[in-house]
Amino acid sequence: MSRVNDSNNFLSIGKSLPRKEDRRLLTGQGRYLDDIQVAGELHACFVRSPYQHALILAIDTEAAEAAPEVVAVVTGKDLAEWTTTHRMAPPIDGLLPIEMTALPADKVRFHGDPVACIVATDRYLAEDASELVEVDYEPLDPVCDMFKAMEDGAPLIEKDMGTNLISHQTFETGNILHVMESAGRVVESTFSTPRQTPLPIETRGCIAEWDEGTQHLTVHVGNQAPHPYRSALAGRLKLKETQVTVIVPDVGGGFGQKIALYREELTIAALARHLKRPVRWREDRMENLLAASHAREDFVRTRAAVDANGRITGLTLELVEDFGAYCFFPANYLARVVAVILTGPYDIGEYAFDVKVVLTNKCGNGPMRAPMAITSWVMEGTIDNIARELGLDPVQVRRLNMVADDAYPHVMATGETMEDINPGAALERGLEAIGYADFRRRQEADREHGIYRGLGICSVVESTTYGSKFYKAAGIPGSGHECAWVKVDPSGTIRASAGVMATGQGYETSFSQAVAEGLGVNPQDVDIKLGNTDIAPYGMGSRGARGGTAGGGTLYLAATGVREKALAIAAKLLGLNTAYQLTMRDGRVCRLIDDDIQETDLTLADIARTAYLDPTRLPDGMEPGLEVTRAYDPPPMTYSNSCHFCEVVVDVPTGAVEISRYVVVENCGNVLNPQIVEGQQLGAIVMGLSGSLFEQVVYDESGYNQTGLLADYLVATASDMPNIEILSVATPNRRTPIGLKGMAEGGVMGSIGAISNAVSDALSPFGAVVENHPISPSRLRLMLREKT
């Protein structure tokens, strides 16, 4: 129709517009959950288990109930009457079903498990009263190690399950056994990340209001996926979905921790309905560290069959993940993606995996930016080990095994199709930027002076936007589609909404660009309304890296629908037979005459006025109004790629790691707002570096969480982190609207691998290889002691 949206000719997208969100957030006018006050609200506080595994014999709430200003004290028994039990039983091969109540009535399963909830008129007094609740526990043997949890006779987290091995999935290509057995050489590598926590700087919390007159529940909560959350909440409370509204205010970060309906939030909602009064809960940091979803903690072993040149002829993966005690997500959900996309940019035809997920007496796991974080480290660390064992250059081994950029689409051994990526170009561009040959010379020369430099390279193929076909194929219930609407009001103002919700990604800005592009208006004139389930269309929420492609892409499509209707009206008003040759620019109808664009007198506001207030002038048969709702289901999977280069200097006597340079080459397709995308990339890379160098949730041997204070859970600060240079070799995706691909997690995947490989490279004279995180000075000193 018009030429305005040729991919080379974007007017609104691809521009670094400063963010609309910033004004309120920079001036202290943001409105986060805890900033909202509701008249007559009560404050809740949870009593948590000091045991990691114990039967609950009795709970005496009498003293707490008698404490000043206490309104109610409830336990799992009360909640069982008000809520349903959640059964997680998707029809996935190898995954066992599991059930979860609102609060445990039978036994506690980890240190921090909530057992009772106090509601008082004041938060300080609720906390005082929580100390008066007396719980009679009978301690059980805990099991806090995933390998021990798989042994015969291990204490069971779920007795009825009969095992702690909640998920076991395997895969193999036809010839893998033969390839491994007949290989000239098999290189074995291991990798392990500890337990981590997403650690948004804003903790969890919620406010629930019950309207007795309308029998309606409104819940304010920081959440990445408001509609699926509403469905879950209504179901668990035995309410109709129309009786529940979820409103998400500004969110102080999520990183995967704000997706599921937590038991605490369900409890608060049930209490608001029971008491017929608003109830609020703000988690303190200790609760966040003990009891908000954890992530990672896995052990991985690869075995690579190679020939003398370093060509990989077959690869096997064993992965064990410690999922903790509760399943807010299907237990196989995170680990399986690692196994499915492991081979990434490499042409490895024969492949097998064995993935086990185990329950233990720890806080339950969930996703954390990126759920498949370990993937690239495992693959690229394996390649480096091959190079080391065969005495080859690691870059040569990569080049030898990589799928050529012009050979995409490429079908991985697991059947996944990757397309529109260029890992070869990203690798070469980065090598050039870093000055690879020169680096090796410097490295060599500096070693003579006791300076141990290392370079780590990590190619990443990031699965970004999951379409419904992917879910179906993986046997996971749910959908990858997204829904959006764009409405032009009678006055000509433009509003738009989608089902995704931002937790800092700047959707109000980037989505206004997508709508502006599709509609032909200025992004400043588009208001994005997200996070209220009564306003936004039912969507799947923000997770993975789907926000841009699924959210932005769907909004773009809805906006083009509005433009088409507006231009059809314009043609009629201008007395033209057809809208061909009409387009919209900055809210004004223009005629394309040859290659010239001529403005008409007609504006979008004129068209809107006609559409709503003067419908007899519309083309025959056209509905009044000017709004379009669209749903869009992305391809089964979109992929972005990148290549990370991390240069370090390791101080051998102290084990300190200094990052001296960090370069990343990105291909995440066309982007809505380059500055926002860069912000996501920087944030992701630092999250990966922080995890690799510092982060670890520590349970002692008996299962007590030792990292209940932020001072104990180390994360990167500004002085620990390098400046990151970002280069681009972007190519668009051919199948998504506007060529979007998505990103936001690849940075984590890449930096984990790059830093680990860099430290191993630095320590290669000592034969030490990083196999565990965090790469702390004490761990490095220990490794070096063992080797020297």
Could you tell me the smallest distance in angstroms from the CB atom of residue 62 to another protein? 22
Q: Binding residue for another protein (CB under 8 A) from 504, 539, 561, 691? A: 504
- CB closer to ligand FES out of 504 and 688: 504
Among 421, 395, 424, smallest CA distance to 410 is for 421
Distance CA 323, CA 548 (A): 29
What residue ranges in 184-269 does DSSP mark as E strands?
185-196, 205-211, 216-221, 244-247
x/- mask, another protein, residues 109-148, rule CB under 8 A, reads ---------------x------------------------
- To ligand FES, the closest distance from the beta carbon of 198 in angstroms equals 12
Residues 268-297 that bind another protein (CB under 8 A): 284-285
Contact 746, 642 (CB under 8 A): yes
> Binders of another protein: how many residues, by CB under 8 A?
53
Residue closer to ligand FES by CB (options 26, 613) is 26
Per-residue b/e over 754-765, b at no fewer than 16 CB within 10 Å?
Answer: bbbbbbbbbbbe
Strand partners of residue 56: 137
Minimum distance from residue 340 beta carbon to another protein (Å): 28
Name every residue whose Cβ is closer than 8 Å to that of residue 422 and which is 6 or more positions away in sequence. Answer: 405, 408, 641, 667, 729, 731
Task: Give Cα separations from 192 to 145, 299, 301, 708 (angstroms).
Answer: 14, 5, 9, 22
Q: Which is nearer to ligand FES, 57 or 709 (CB)?
A: 709
Please, what is the minimum distance in Å from the beta carbon of residue 719 to ligand FES? 16
Handedness of CA 115, 120, 126, 132 (dihedral sign): negative
Considering beta carbons, is residue 8 or 719 the nearer one to another protein?
719
First to last CA, the chain: 71
Sites for ligand FES among residues 250-309 (CB under 6 A): 253
> 408: closest CA among 745, 667, 173, 634?
667
Tokens at residue 521, please? 């208006």
> Contact region for another protein (CB under 8 A) — 51-59, 148-156, 545-553, 718-726?
718-726
Q: Which of residues 545-584 bind ligand FES (CB under 6 A)?
A: none
Find which of ligand FES, another protein, none residue 251 binds, CB within 5 to 8 Å per kind: another protein
Given 201, 407, 411, 709, the residue binding ligand FES (CB under 6 A): 201
Q: Does residue 682 bind another protein (CB under 8 A)?
A: yes
| Beta pairing class for 205-211 and 216-221 | antiparallel
Alpha carbons within 13 angstroms on the beta-carbon side of residue 371 total 26
**Among ligand FES, another protein, none, what binds residue 635 when CB lies within 5 to 8 Å by partner kind?**
none
Applying CB under 8 A, among 3, 7, 22, 787 the residue interacting with another protein is 22
Residue 16 one-letter amino acid: S
Distance from C-alpha of 568 to C-alpha of 391, rounded to nearest angstrom: 68
Instruction: Give the interface size with ligand FES as a residue count (CB under 6 A).
Output: 3
Q: Which of 192, 493, 675, 776 binds another protein (CB under 8 A)?
A: 675
124 binds, among ligand FES, another protein, none (CB under 5 to 8 A by kind): another protein
User: Residue 114 and residue 149: Cα distance in Å, rounded?
Assistant: 23
Distance in Å, CB of 253 to ligand FES, minimum: 5
Please, which residue, 500 or 754, has the CB nearer to ligand FES? Answer: 500
Closest CB 34 distance from another protein, rounded Å: 7
Nearest distance, CB of residue 22 and another protein, angstroms = 5
**Residue 23 or residue 734: which is nearer to another protein going by CB?**
23
Of 55 and 201, CB closest to ligand FES: 201
β-pair type (42-48, 279-282) = parallel
Tell which positions 23-82 bind ligand FES, by CB under 6 A.
Answer: none
Which range touches another protein (CB under 8 A), out of 21-29, 52-60, 425-433, 480-488? Answer: 21-29
Q: Pick from 601, 600, 627: which is nearest to 612 by CA?
A: 627
Q: Is the peptide bond prior to 226 cis by the omega test (within 30 degrees of 0)?
A: no
Angle between helix axes 226-236 and 263-275 (nearest 10 degrees) is 60
Tokens, residue 371: 């759920």
> Which stretches of 162-293 are DSSP H helices?
176-182, 226-236, 263-275, 285-291
Q: Quote the tokens at residue 124.
A: 């300080």
Residue among 201 and 445 whose Cβ is closer to ligand FES: 201
Dihedral pair phi/psi, residue 631, rounded to 5°: -115, 150
Residue of 645, 651, 622 lying closest to 775 (CA atoms): 651
Tokens for 617, please give them.
Answer: 């002038």
Which one among 373, 397, 557, 686 touches another protein, defined by CB under 8 A?
686
Nearer to ligand FES, 273 or 369 (CB): 369
Residue 447, token pair as written in the block: 């070693």
Interatomic CA distance for residues 583 and 567, integer angstroms: 7
Q: CA Rg, the chain, in Å?
A: 28
705 binds another protein (CB under 8 A): no
Asked if 656 interacts with another protein (CB under 8 A), we say no
DSSP string for residues in 707-720: --STTTS----GGG
Nearer to ligand FES, 253 or 777 (CB): 253
Residues 475-514 that bind ligand FES (CB under 6 A): 504
| Residue that is written with structure tokens 């109709």 in the block | 240
Between residues 351 and 694, which has the closer beta carbon with respect to ligand FES?
694
User: Which of 34, 264, 482, 627 touches another protein (CB under 8 A)?
Assistant: 34
Q: Which positions from 173 to 202 touch another protein by CB under 8 A, shown as an x/- string?
A: --------------------------xxxx
Cβ pair 271, 74 in contact under 8 A: yes
Does 31 interact with another protein (rule: CB under 8 A)?
yes
Question: Which residue's CB is nearer to another protein, number 110 or number 694?
Answer: 694
782 binds ligand FES (CB under 6 A): no
505 binds, among ligand FES, another protein, none (CB under 5 to 8 A by kind): another protein
Asked if residues 555 and 518 have their Cβ atoms less than 8 Å apart, the reply is yes
In order of 350, 588, 627, the CA distances from 13 in angstroms are 42, 18, 21
According to CB under 8 A, which residues from 471 to 490 bind another protein? none
Q: Does 724 bind another protein (CB under 8 A)?
A: yes
Query: Residue 315 corresponds to which amino acid?
Result: L
- By CB under 8 A, name the one of 9, 598, 616, 723 that touches another protein: 723
CB of 503 to ligand FES, least distance (A): 9
| CA distance linking residue 422 with residue 345, whole number of Å | 9
Residue least distant from ligand FES (Cβ): 201
| CB 757, min distance to another protein, A | 20
Judged by beta carbon distances under 5 to 8 A according to partner kind, the member of ligand FES, another protein, none in contact with residue 647 is none
Reduced 3-state DSSP string for 494-520: EEEEECCCCCCCCHHHHHHHHHHHHHC
| Closest CB 37 distance from another protein, rounded Å | 8
Question: Any contact of residue 721 with another protein (CB under 8 A)?
Answer: yes
Judged by CB under 8 A, the residue of 65, 69, 720, 771 near another protein is 720
Query: How far is it, in rounded angstroms, from Cα 737 to Cα 514?
Result: 10
| Candidates 23-31, 181-189, 427-435, 699-707; binding stretch for another protein (CB under 8 A) | 23-31
Are 517 and 205 contacting, i.e. CB atoms less than 8 angstroms apart? no
Nearest to 572 by CA among 622, 507, 531: 622
In angstroms, give the least distance from the CB of 783 to ligand FES: 33
- Kindly list the residues in this chain that would bind another protein in the complex (CB under 8 A): 18-19, 21-23, 25-32, 34-35, 124, 199-203, 250-253, 255, 284-285, 503-506, 675-676, 678-679, 682-687, 709-711, 715, 717-721, 723-724
- Kindly list the residues in this chain that would bind ligand FES in the complex (CB under 6 A): 201, 253, 504
